[in-house]
């Protein structure tokens, strides 16, 4: 079974005269990413592969989560996650090595929400909030065969719920 988690980057800042690709995380973004990564660790979720957009806010989110889950590999930077759309992210998923059983992908809206909508086969738009994670499991034998028709949403985690749980 192939499992992937699509994640929207954590809450980012908008400093003046900063290119979009260099926007840093806000303090809340750091806390939310660490909290959600800690929840993944508590539930023994350790991905085999981690992919991130090249944008600083996505890379920082991926790095925080990777530390929390004790990921030993390297986060692979994929330009397609930032510059492409849902089709490119689906292609990345379908191109993952079959030696991997699980993956995490860190990206941006609207693409992250579009990918989630595609895999849940929703007619309406769903807006993934910052730091949100959606976990999908596929019955496909290989990543190349992963599609909305053999994939199930297993869980959806949003930071607001994680904050309430820890208060």
The CATH number covering residue 42 comes to 3.40.50.1240
Q: How many domains does the chain have?
A: 1
Whether residue 71 contacts residue 51, with contact meaning beta carbons closer than 8 Å, is answered with no
**Residue 162 included in any domain:** yes
Average confidence score pLDDT of the chain: 94
**Residue 17 included in any domain:** no
> 117-161, pLDDT tens digit by residue?
999 988 777 899 999 999 999 999 999 999 999 999 999 998 877
d(CA 86, CA 118): 8
In the prediction, which pLDDT does 163 show?
A: 63
**Residue 137 included in any domain:** yes
In the prediction, which pLDDT does 159 show?
A: 85
> 28-76, pLDDT tens digit by residue?
999 999 999 999 999 999 999 999 999 999 999 999 999 999 999 999 9
Whether residue 56 contacts residue 21, with contact meaning beta carbons closer than 8 Å, is answered with yes
Q: What is the largest CA-CA distance in the chain?
A: 47
**Residue 95 included in any domain:** yes
This prediction's pTM: 0.95
In the prediction, which pLDDT does 72 show?
A: 95
> 100-120, pLDDT tens digit by residue?
999 999 999 999 999 999 999
d(CA 62, CA 19): 20
Domain enclosing residue 130, as ranges: 2-12+22-166
**Cα angle 58-63-64, degrees, rounded to a multiple of 5:** 100
User: Among positive and negative, which fits the CA dihedral 147, 144, 97, 60?
Assistant: negative
């Amino acid at each position: 079974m192939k499992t992937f988690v699509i994640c929207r980057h954590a809450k980012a800042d908008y400093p003046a005269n900063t290119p979009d690709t260099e926007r840093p995380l806000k303090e809340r973004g750091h806390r939310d990413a660490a909290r959600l990564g800690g929840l993944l660790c508590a539930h023994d979720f350790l991905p085999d592969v981690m992919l991130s957009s090249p944008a600083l806010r996505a890379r920082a989110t991926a790095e925080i989560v990777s530390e929390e889950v004790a990921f030993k590999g390297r986060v692979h930077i994929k330009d397609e996650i930032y510059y492409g759309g849902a089709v490119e992210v689906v292609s990345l998923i379908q191109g993952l090595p079959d030696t991997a059983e699980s993956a995490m992908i860190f990206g941006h809206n609207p693409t992250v929400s579009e990918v989630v909508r595609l895999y849940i086969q929703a007619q309406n738009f769903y807006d993934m909030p910052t730091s949100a994670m959606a976990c999908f499991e596929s019955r496909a034998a290989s990543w190349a065969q992963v599609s909305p028709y053999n994939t199930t949403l297993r869980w959806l985690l949003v930071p607001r719920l994680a904050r309430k749980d820890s208060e």
